[in-house]
Amino acid sequence: MSTSHPTQAQLNLAALAGSPSPRTMPTLRKIQSHQVLSSNPNPNILSALPSQPSTARSSAGPEELIRQAQLDSPVRLRTHRRARSNSDAGSRDAPGTLTRGRSARKTGSGVGVRRSILESLLRDGPQQGDVAEGLQELRYLVLSTRVDADNDGMSTYRIYLWLGLLDISPVPTDDYLALIHRGRSPAYTKIRNDTFRTLATDPLFKRRVTEASLIRLLNAVAWRIHDAKAKSRPKSRPSSSRRREMELLINTPPSITEEEEPQSPEDSAKPTPSPRGNNAIGRDSAIYVQGMNVLCAPFLYAARSEVEAFALFHSFITRECPGYIRGAMDGVHRGLRLVDRCLEIVEPKLAAYLFSKGMQAELYAFPSVLTMCACTPPLPEVLHLWDFLFAYGPHLNILCIVAQLIRMRDTILESPSPNKILRSFPPLDAKEIIALTVLIVRKIPEPLYAELIEHAK
CATH number of the domain within which 184 lies: 1.10.8.270
Name the H helices within 117-255: 117-124, 131-145, 158-165, 173-181, 188-195, 203-208, 211-232, 242-251
The confidence band for 376, taking pLDDT boundaries of 50, 70 and 90, is: very high
For residue range 405-436, what is the model confidence (pLDDT) as tens digits?
A: 999 999 999 999 999 999 999 999 999 999 99
Query: What pLDDT, on a 0 to 100 scale, did the predictor assign at position 261?
Result: 36
Specify the DSSP element, H or E, that contains 36: helix 34-39
pLDDT at 129 over 50: yes
Same domain, 298 and 423: no
pLDDT at 286 over 60: yes
Query: What pLDDT, on a 0 to 100 scale, did the predictor assign at position 365?
Result: 97
pLDDT at 320 over 90: yes
Q: Considering the chain, what is the average pLDDT of its residues?
A: 75
pLDDT at 206 over 80: yes
Q: What are phi and psi of 287, to 5 degrees?
A: -80, -15
Query: What pLDDT, on a 0 to 100 scale, did the predictor assign at position 413?
Result: 96
Query: What pLDDT, on a 0 to 100 scale, did the predictor assign at position 70?
Result: 55
Query: What pLDDT, on a 0 to 100 scale, did the predictor assign at position 265?
Result: 36
Query: What pLDDT, on a 0 to 100 scale, did the predictor assign at position 211?
Result: 97
Number of domains, the chain: 3
Does 158 fall in a domain? yes
The C-alpha atoms of residue 279 and residue 225 are separated, in whole angstroms, by 11
pLDDT at 252 over 70: no
Same domain, 189 and 316: yes
Query: What pLDDT, on a 0 to 100 scale, did the predictor assign at position 348?
Result: 97
Query: What pLDDT, on a 0 to 100 scale, did the predictor assign at position 66?
Result: 65
Same domain, 82 and 154: yes
For residue range 9-67, what is the model confidence (pLDDT) as tens digits?
A: 444 433 333 333 333 333 323 333 344 333 433 333 223 223 333 334 456 667 667 66
For residue range 378-409, what is the model confidence (pLDDT) as tens digits?
A: 999 999 999 999 999 999 999 999 999 999 99
For residue range 337-369, what is the model confidence (pLDDT) as tens digits?
A: 999 999 999 999 999 999 999 999 999 999 999
Query: What pLDDT, on a 0 to 100 scale, did the predictor assign at position 435?
Result: 96
* Comparison of pLDDT for 133 and 251, the residue scoring more: 133
The C-alpha atoms of residue 93 and residue 90 are separated, in whole angstroms, by 9
Query: What pLDDT, on a 0 to 100 scale, did the predictor assign at position 298?
Result: 98
Does 246 fall in a domain? no
Same domain, 400 and 448: yes
Does 271 fall in a domain? no
Helices 292-302, 379-392: inter-axial angle, 10-degree rounding: 90
Same domain, 307 and 176: yes
* Comparison of pLDDT for 126 and 365, the residue scoring more: 365
* Comparison of pLDDT for 281 and 168, the residue scoring more: 168
Residue 308, amino acid: E
Same domain, 156 and 199: no
Same domain, 376 and 452: yes
Query: What pLDDT, on a 0 to 100 scale, did the predictor assign at position 212?
Result: 97
Residue among 217, 204, 199 nearest 313 (CA): 217
Same domain, 92 and 64: yes
Same domain, 217 and 289: yes
Does 24 fall in a domain? yes
Q: Kindly state the average pLDDT of the residues 181-201.
A: 96
**Cα–Cα distances in angstroms (integers) from residue 227 to residues 53, 188, 285, 414, in the given order:** 24, 15, 11, 51
Residue 279, amino acid: N
The C-alpha atoms of residue 46 and residue 223 are separated, in whole angstroms, by 34
CATH number, domain with residue 360: 1.10.472.80
Q: What angle do CA 149, 153, 155 make, to 5 degrees?
A: 45
Does 245 fall in a domain? no
Query: What pLDDT, on a 0 to 100 scale, did the predictor assign at position 68?
Result: 60
| b (16+ CB within 10 A) / e for 115-130 | bbebbbbbbbbbbebb
pLDDT at 282 over 80: no
* Comparison of pLDDT for 447 and 54, the residue scoring more: 447
Same domain, 412 and 289: no
pLDDT at 375 over 70: yes
Specify the DSSP element, H or E, that contains 330: helix 330-346
Query: What pLDDT, on a 0 to 100 scale, did the predictor assign at position 116?
Result: 85
Residue among 235, 239, 234, 264 nearest 249 (CA): 239
Query: What pLDDT, on a 0 to 100 scale, did the predictor assign at position 61?
Result: 65
For residue range 75-106, what is the model confidence (pLDDT) as tens digits?
A: 333 333 333 333 333 333 333 333 333 333 44
The C-alpha atoms of residue 405 and residue 365 are separated, in whole angstroms, by 10
Residue 452, amino acid: L
pTM of the predicted protein model: 0.71
Query: What pLDDT, on a 0 to 100 scale, did the predictor assign at position 165?
Result: 94
Same domain, 307 and 453: no
* Comparison of pLDDT for 317 and 128, the residue scoring more: 317
Residue 77's domain spans which residues?
A: 11-165
Inter-residue contact 391 to 165 (CB < 8 Å): yes
Q: Kindly state the average pLDDT of the residues 271-289.
A: 61
